Amino acid sequence: MPYFDCSYRVPYADTDQMQVVYYANYLEYFERSRTEMLRSIGFPYSEMEKLGFFLPVKEAHVTYHASACYDDLLTLRSYVSEARGARLTIQSEVRRGDELLVSGSVTLCCINSAHKVTRLPAELLEAVKLLTVND
């Protein structure tokens, strides 16, 4: 299956006064999921740095469906929906059991060590094939 899943238990620090997850933390959950997904295919950010490229966020889209709360056990799911040119788009979901809480996407732009936009390296393109879902 091309999806990457990891678990995360919501700490109190991620919540607001009503013990509901603070909205900005959902983007952090997307980042946590994509970081672990890239690590699972052999591309932790430290390896990208050694190869001379970086993947900063170009744009992000988030749709809220329901709230997570303190101490919920969440499943963070990510997969690649596009990898071409200088763009890598990763779809993400946050679930509590079968309930979808948040969905969205993050588009990353590949840059080299001179901070110039560059094509995604062939090694990365080959590695993300296992995590790509074509809509």
Per-residue pLDDT reduced to its tens digit, 22-70: 888 999 999 999 999 999 988 898 989 999 999 999 999 999 999 999 9
Q: Report phi then psi at 68, rounded to 5.
A: -95, 155
Residue-range domains of the chain with CATH? 4-131 (3.10.129.10)
102: which residues sit within 8 A by CB, 6+ positions away? 26, 29, 62, 63, 64, 65, 68, 92, 93, 94
Choosing from 16, 71, 72, 135, the catalytic residue is: 16
Task: Name the pLDDT band for 131 (thresholds 50, 70, 90).
Answer: confident
pLDDT at 135 over 70: no
Is 16 an active-site residue? yes
Q: Which residue has the higher pLDDT, 130 or 17?
A: 17
The label of the residue with tokens 């080299």 reads 112
pLDDT at site 124: 92
Alpha-carbon Rg for the chain in angstroms: 15
- 76-86 tens-digit pLDDT: 999 999 999 99
Q: Whose CA is closest to 102, among 58, 66, 54?
A: 66
Q: Which residue has the higher pLDDT, 10 or 134?
A: 10
